[in-house]
Chains A and B, each alone.
Chain A
Amino acid sequence: SKTTKEFTDKIDTLISGYGKIDEAFYDELEEILITADLGFDITMELIESLREKVKEVKTDDPHQVKVLLKELIINILSTGNRELQVEPPPAVVLVVGVNGVGKTTTIGKLAHYFKQQHKEVMLAAGDTFRAGAIDQLEVWGQRNQVPVIRHQEGSDPAAVIFDAIHSAKARNCEILICDTAGRLHNKKNLMNELGKIFRVVDREYPEARKEVLLVLDATTGQNALQQAKVFGEVAQLTGIVLTKLDGTAKGGIVLAITKSMGTPVKMIGVGEQLEDLQPFDPSSFAEALLGDTNETRIADDIKI
């Protein structure tokens, strides 16, 4: 459509408009990176490193400059281990994040992802707060034909997780995925509640491998960095799931996060259906960030 077109090949238009590299070229690069939500600091650092690289390799070909920039971005995004650590079983996956980012939906997709690998999965309805949250997870459980451990709305989430762990042990379940209520990172009491859940997991399930996934909405701007920092203080985050990449937002804030915290992006969400979850690929992400192909949306670029 017309709209999607506008966000397209920004960088290619830029490149074709430039015979060689000058200040205006860098200015426009800066604009592309900032509008992709990278944030000012990282954008400036990237441009600086790029200038150095350009000098080093003595190029004035805009196409090559783009390749250099892409390499710099891939470099940052390639930190850490991007594999979900669920082998050998048992494993527990805790899913956390602020309100409405896509935690519950991601759990539904993860269950599908693991089931495709012929793993035994169970879900725990650890969001006992939000209206309809338990029923929502129940629907995802049915879609995947996996059991969902639930208590009543308003009950203690740590107790749900406790029950789920014992149930997982009894049934020899390989992967237990726990939903948690959305919470803003600046709410002390809610973050403490999360701490309690983690303690239950550590105490009751020491033998399990742990994945603690922070779900971030690609539409979110600079605040995502703060989210990652504060959730990272309460929990040993092992990875990030970046959702809603099927929209026009680029999710560039993950660069600042992986750079400063080293937490890798492991999976991306590209829609609302079961199969709309994919392993994160730094190269396609960088490509989409710079709007390389004629497809504008990162999701389209990344779809394998």
Chain B
Amino acid sequence: MIFEGLSEKLQNTLSKLKSKGKLTEKDVKEAMREVKLALLEADVNFKVVKDFIKRVSDRAVGDEVMESLTPGQHVIKIVNEELTALMGSSQSKLTFSSKPPTIYMMVGLQGSGKTTTCGKLAKHLKKQQKSPLLVACDIYRPAAIQQLKTVGGQVDVPVFSMGDGTSPVHISKAAVEHANRQGLDTVIIDTAGRLHIDELLMEELQQIKAAVKPQEILLVVDSMTGQDAVNVAEQFHEQIGIDGVILTKLDGDTRGGAALSVRAVTQKPIKFAGIGEKIDEFEPFHPDRMASRILGMGDMLSLIEKA
């Protein structure tokens, strides 16, 4: 497999650095080329990679390293530090409104995993003694409402829907009133998948946001997304304003570089990871683990720890 070969090469280059007593600019350059390759192969956006390499290189050829007794190890440490800084180092939690119901809204491209994630989040919140309401605001995709109802049934959470003949703005408002009446403290709004360049549908999200003022707008991103992830994240963030990200389909074998891209352009934390199709295949997101997954080398971390 290409990935494995690549990370092996990267590891070799980095361990060669590690064993060197004195580094030349050429050594650093060669190592950075491998890091760049690994990141691109992992689908990290080109621009994000370029900035990253520049930051690492600047530090690596600076005094900090040259004065170090073990310059090779120092470079590796810098790579890791910068990667962690980009990815965020600590796990970021969901926030709750002081005035219930707390409203969460799922947004994202078509097929990214929003509806499934609504169910997963509902289950997660139920475990924390919350009483969620799922809201069917996808009036476009065939059988989207039925899908949410089935998902709701699986986690035993009520689903609010008004069919596909009412506007999502109206549905979301009515759902919040319904939650208030029923004493439900959490509202999770499922919205239709849409392209970030679809002006009409992006406006619809703005209107839902204005109507119900969600506590958090969560961008659901497929972890297999390629270079375009930055455009998607940037546009959703610019036009709607997102509070966090949920990364799905991490049970696949993608390196998941989209995580870095999304993080770099929005500066918003990735809060959860989807790790399967089943309702309980969902967990809090660990940025540090993601960083080493992207570079494809748990071993590199142990190299650094020894450094």
Residues of A whose CB lies within 8 Å of any CB of B are: 1, 3-4, 7, 31, 34-37, 39-40, 98-102, 108, 129-133, 135-136, 138-140, 153, 182, 184-187, 217, 219-226, 244, 246-250, 253, 272, 297
Interchain CB contact under 8 A, A253 and B37: no
With A186-B252, A221-B225 known as contacts, the answer to whether A139 contacts B143 (CB < 8 A) is: yes
Q: How far is the CB of A260 from the nearest CB of chain B, in Å?
A: 10
**Once bound together, how far apart are the Cα atoms of A99 and B115, in whole Å?**
13
| Inter-subunit contact B111/A247 (CB<8 Å) | no
How many angstroms between the C-alpha atoms of A224 and B254 in the bound complex?
Answer: 9
Q: Spell out B's residues near A (CB within 8 Å).
A: 1-2, 37, 40-43, 45-46, 109-113, 115-116, 140-144, 146-151, 154, 195-197, 199, 222, 224-229, 231-232, 235, 249, 251-255, 257-258, 277
Contact A102 B251, CB 8 Å, known A136-B147, A219-B222, A221-B43: no
Scoring B148, B195, B199 by chain A CB atoms within 10 A of each residue's CB, the highest score goes to B195
Give the shortest distance, in Å, between A145 (CB) and chain B (any CB). Answer: 15
A248 contact set on B, CB distance < 8 A: 195-197, 228, 231-232
Cβ-neighbour of A132 out of B37, B144, B196, B235 (below 8 A): B144
Interface SS, A side = loop
Determine if B227 and A36 form an interchain contact, defined as CB atoms under 8 angstroms apart.
yes
User: Which one of A1, A35, A36, A135 contacts B197 once the chains associate, using CB atoms below 8 Å?
Assistant: A1
In angstroms, Cα B142 to Cα A244, docked, is 17
Q: A136-B147, A140-B142 are in contact. Are A34 and B40 (CB under 8 A)?
A: yes
- Complex formed: what's the CA distance from A31 to B49 in Å? 11
A132 touches B150 (CB 8 A): yes
User: A residues within 8 A CB of B224?
Assistant: 98, 217, 220-221, 223-224
Q: How far is the CA of A10 from the CA of B151 in the complex (A)?
A: 43
Other CB < 8 Å A-B pairs besides A40-B40, A98-B249, 10 of them?
A3-B196, A102-B110, A131-B150, A136-B142, A136-B147, A184-B252, A220-B225, A220-B226, A223-B43, A247-B228
Which residues of chain A come closer than 8 Å to B197, judged between CB atoms? 1, 3-4, 247-248, 297
Most chain A beta-carbon contacts within 10 A, residue among B2, B148, B228: B228
Most interface-central of A34, A37, A100 (chain B CB within 10 A): A100
Q: Could you tell me the distance between the alpha carbons of A266 and B224 in the complex, rounded to whole angstroms?
A: 22
Look across to chain B and name the residue whose beta carbon is closest to the beta carbon of A187.
B251
Evaluate contact between B227 and A34: CB separation under 8 angstroms.
yes
A248 to B228, CA, bound (A): 7
How far apart are B300's CB and chain A's nearest CB, in angstroms? 20
Q: Give the residues in chain B near A222, CB-CB below 8 Å.
A: 41-43, 226, 254-255
28 A-B pairs with C-beta separation under 8 A:
A1-B199, A7-B231, A34-B40, A34-B227, A35-B45, A36-B227, A37-B226, A99-B111, A102-B111, A108-B142, A131-B151, A132-B143, A135-B143, A136-B141, A136-B142, A184-B249, A185-B253, A217-B111, A217-B224, A220-B222, A221-B227, A247-B196, A247-B197, A248-B228, A248-B231, A249-B226, A253-B226, A272-B141
